[in-house]
């Protein structure tokens, strides 16, 4: 199965450069593991606007009903520079499949970034997003965008990896789109999409059912919007079991009652988090090899991203149902 290479913007201090305010970089094993499978576009917005490395720290403050970015030691207000750079950057980015941004940064952070009462006060008024991150979130709504810290969580990481590889694969498929290519993409992703959102899966199916080669560009655009929406939330924890039950249907004539019972018992163990999802997938994959099920065998659901990106310790944690 061909796996596309996602194009991912990453905060440059994560593995790529010693560009933090203190002149250091951050070791990140997840970014390291992705390097062979992803085309990274590293960027440090603070260096790009000329703050230099090392530099005095910066912070967000709330002033005159606005959030501004300042450097307390030099009293510089760098809000305009940062906003201008961020807008230019996102407007010139071209094709992209996702973002990994550094947490806790007044530039790159997505969640819980402190906005202080004033340039020299320690009190926090409220929490918001970094300025650079805000621009990205605005321009790339529904794209996979994560902080590196959250990717340490198995469930968050697998969802992010699944989304970026599915979107990259879609981008590759529609470089020169045809009706056949779109239908093939949808067909091999059907069970993955079913796990994520059955309502959107149905809408996508309807859209493709009325597709002709004449209006393909419009369809690609609409389909892509649905695809991003589908991946904008992690799958419901019970929906993976629904997919497994659908897959079981392919073998109903081939299996004896003991085999079916064993499979259903295994599903129960997954539901109770006694064993990981991969336990059920392995059974299905062995039946696919034995009974030759070409439609099921091509399903991305069974390998949504390169296997090498699975942390072996995840196998012991009950993947997806955590």
Site residues (CB under 6 A) for ligand SF4?
A: 11-13, 19-20, 44-46, 102, 105, 107-108
Q: What are the CA-CA distances from residue 35 to residues 6, 85, 114, 312 (Å)? A: 11, 26, 31, 18
Of 44 and 194, which CB lies nearer to ligand SF4 in the complex structure?
44
Of 14 and 241, which CB lies nearer to ligand SF4 in the complex structure?
14
3 state SS of 76? strand
Shortest Å distance, C-beta 20 to ligand SF4: 4
Q: What are the CA-CA distances from residue 208 to residues 180, 196, 220, 249, 294 (Å)? A: 10, 19, 9, 25, 22
Of 102 and 188, which CB lies nearer to ligand SF4 in the complex structure?
102
- 322/315 Cα distance (integer angstroms): 11
Of 102 and 129, which CB lies nearer to ligand SF4 in the complex structure?
102
Shortest Å distance, C-beta 85 to ligand SF4: 11
| Tokens matching residue 102 | 């550094």
- 41/43 Cα distance (integer angstroms): 7
Shortest Å distance, C-beta 63 to ligand SF4: 21
Of 105 and 162, which CB lies nearer to ligand SF4 in the complex structure?
105
Shortest Å distance, C-beta 29 to ligand SF4: 17
- 231/227 Cα distance (integer angstroms): 6
Buried b (16+ CB within 10 A) or exposed e, 309-321: bbeeebeeebbbb
Of 106 and 144, which CB lies nearer to ligand SF4 in the complex structure?
106
Shortest Å distance, C-beta 246 to ligand SF4: 43
243 phi/psi in degrees, rounded to 5: -65, -40
| Tokens matching residue 249 | 């249907």
Q: Peptide bond before 54: cis, by omega within 30 degrees of 0?
A: yes
Of 132 and 143, which CB lies nearer to ligand SF4 in the complex structure?
132
How are the residues of the chain apportioned to helix, strand and coil, as percentages rounded to the nearest 5?
50, 15, 40
Q: What are the CA-CA distances from residue 255 to residues 252, 269, 279, 284, 288 (Å)? A: 6, 20, 18, 12, 12
| CA dihedral for 171, 173, 178, 180, sign (positive or negative) | negative
Shortest Å distance, C-beta 106 to ligand SF4: 8
Vertex 44 angle, CA 67 and 115, to 5°:
20
CB contact at 8 A, 47 and 53: yes
Shortest Å distance, C-beta 81 to ligand SF4: 13
266 phi/psi in degrees, rounded to 5: -65, -40
Shortest Å distance, C-beta 149 to ligand SF4: 12
Shortest Å distance, C-beta 33 to ligand SF4: 19
């Amino acid at each position: 199965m061909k796996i596309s290479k996602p194009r991912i913007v990453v905060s440059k201090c994560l593995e790529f450069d010693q560009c933090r305010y203190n002149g250091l970089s951050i070791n990140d094993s997840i970014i390291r593991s992705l390097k062979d499978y992803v085309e990274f576009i590293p960027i440090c917005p603070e260096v790009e606007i000329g703050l230099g490395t090392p530099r005095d720290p910066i912070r967000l403050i709330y002033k005159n009903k606005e959030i501004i970015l300042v450097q307390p030691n030099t009293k510089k207000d760098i809000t305009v520079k940062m906003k201008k750079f961020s807008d230019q950057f996102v407007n010139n980015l071209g094709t992209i499949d996702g973002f990994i941004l550094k947490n806790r940064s007044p530039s790159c952070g997505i969640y819980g970034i402190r906005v202080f009462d004033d340039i020299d006060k320690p009190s926090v008024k409220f929490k918001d997003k970094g300025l650079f991150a805000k621009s990205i979130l605005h321009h790339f709504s529904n794209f996979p965008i994560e902080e590196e810290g959250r990717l340490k969580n198995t469930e968050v990481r697998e969802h992010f990896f699944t989304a970026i590889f599915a979107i990259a694969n879609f981008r590759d498929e529609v470089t020169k789109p045809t009706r056949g290519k779109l239908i093939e993409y949808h067909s091999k992703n059907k069970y993955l999409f079913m796990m994520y959102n059955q309502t959107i899966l149905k809408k996508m199916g309807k859209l493709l059912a009325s597709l002709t080669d004449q209006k393909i560009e419009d369809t690609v655009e609409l389909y892509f919007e649905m695809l991003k929406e589908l991946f904008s939330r992690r799958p419901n924890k019970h929906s993976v079991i629904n997919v497994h039950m659908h897959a079981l249907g392919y073998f109903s004539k081939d299996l004896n009652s003991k085999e079916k019972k064993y499979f259903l018992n295994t599903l129960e163990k997954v539901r109770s988090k006694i064993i990981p999802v991969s336990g059920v997938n392995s059974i299905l994959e062995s039946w696919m090899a034995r009974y030759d099920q070409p439609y099921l065998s091509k399903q991305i659901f069974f390998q949504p991203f390169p296997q090498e990106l699975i942390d072996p310790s995840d196998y012991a944690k009950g993947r997806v149902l955590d």
